[in-house]
A and B are shown apart, each in its own frame.
Chain A
């Protein structure tokens, strides 16, 4: 689905490279988190995935298409990109026309378009807001509108840049549960997040970026147990993992409170 091969990138020859020799493959249906401190190259890597930035060396292939030879607006049918700030994305007068905007670029039949709008707005619980102005909504709702307009194109891959920033916990959970639902029905998800709890609770695979290179790549529970790599990347594992690591056996693969509870209950014979 996504093949990144020896990818290096810098804005110009004189400037130091932001990404160097990054390689990984992502299969259909994966849920991958990209973590690392500011300046590690996370957003730059995301922008490489949909061709907003092109490799200086190496290659990026999305569904078999090389990003150097395909325009971003064409790749958009396969890879949806949700920006951190929904206000950069929204500009139509109503929520409905906002969702319609992207669809018009790829579909002609008006009935199919209306059908799709109905479907997507139901999925993201925006059904009663289609006639409202996006700017009258709360930040959490605007984030959902932005997500709806991306998801409406039914991309195979969904890329999220800090989808939970600036939202309260409930709004954050709403967005993440929608994303999880899409992932369950086969959409490949790649997400940049600073919130290690969100990573622990949703991502099955985690890639750690440090200084533009891949410092670690593997199953989320294993990555959070590599304390030396995390601390040298200025990251801290989620609280539950910190707790688990205090025990000799490290509580195996526990990463969330739910995992921990089940494991304790099992050990107590319940």
Chain B
């Protein structure tokens, strides 16, 4: 679905590459989370998938990026936008109209979609993003979480195979963030949409994403199944990543010789770990 090979990219007017020698293959139907400190190149990586790099944001581009079989250097954003839906950090600056259904229609209008087809797609994408009840609402009166789900609906109305999201929950409260992830999980499970998401909230990622990629200084430093990656608690702490507190706890326990087993990734596993430790002592 996404094939990135030996990608190095340096923005014009920058003195060092934002991405260095990235190799990343994402399968159809995956749910991939990308984490890392700010300045690690996470946003740039998403821009390379939706074609914003190198078409809108320019620079020196080495290596190759193929999305749904299309080379992103030969195909512009517009062509790619039928295959890759994009959602960005700031909900405010993605919404250009005053009514929810108009916002979803906007993208379809740009592609000269006939009226009947638009009607169908709007209903369908609102349903998929679970916001059918917001169809006739004013965009200005929506909460941040609702605005981001409108942005998701807008992207999926073009029926992309991949959805790329760049920190969509950074401005949202816990409830709004959770609602975004539930919508994404639904799109992934029920509709088989491939999801790639950059996110700081590791707790939410650990619950929803199947694969986790850790970036630092333009490189991918860890890549694997979410649970496997989270077990590298020491490495994560060293990179300055906010790992789940049970992972941090397990790290402390094993460092001091109280625990040797697998690192727990959720509360239930941690419970088993702690009861084991306490039972052994008695």
Binding site for B on A (CB under 8 A): 37-38, 138-140, 165-173, 194, 196-197, 234-236, 238-240, 242-243, 246-247, 256-258, 260-261, 264-265, 267-270
Contact = CB atoms under 8 A, between A and B. Distances in A.
Given A140-B38, A240-B245, A169 B240 contact: yes
B267 A246 contact: yes
A139 B256 CA distance: 37
A165 B174 contact: no
Interface string B152-178: 000000000000000000110111100
Given A168-B240, A239-B244, A264-B274, 6 more contacts: A172-B242, A197-B242, A234-B175, A236-B174, A239-B270, A243-B274
Contacts of B23: none
Contacts of B140: none
8 contacts: A37-B174, A169-B241, A170-B37, A172-B242, A194-B174, A235-B174, A246-B271, A267-B281
Contact of A243 (B144, B173, B267, B277): B267
B88 to A, nearest CB: 13
B271 A243 contact: yes
Contacts of A139: 38
Contacts of B176: 38
Contacts of B258: 264-265, 268, 270
Interface string B211-228: 000000000000000000
Interface residues of B, number: 33
Contacts of B249: 240, 243, 257, 260-261
B265 to A, nearest CB: 11
Contacts of B171: 165-166
Interface string B35-70: 011110000000000000000000000000000000
Which has the most chain B C-beta neighbours within 10 Å: A37, A172, A264, A267?
A264
Nearest to A174: B240
Given A169-B242, A170-B37, A240-B245, A268 B267 contact: no
A187 B126 CA distance: 49
A37 B143 CA distance: 12
A247 B242 CA distance: 25
Interface string B243-267: 0111011001100101000000001
Contacts of A234: 174-175
Nearest to B143: A38
Contacts of B267: 239, 242-243, 246
Nearest to A139: B38
A23 to B, nearest CB: 25
Given A38-B175, A239-B245, A267-B281, A167 B271 contact: no
A140 B277 CA distance: 40
B245 A165 contact: no
Contacts of A197: 242, 245
A204 to B, nearest CB: 19
Nearest to B170: A166
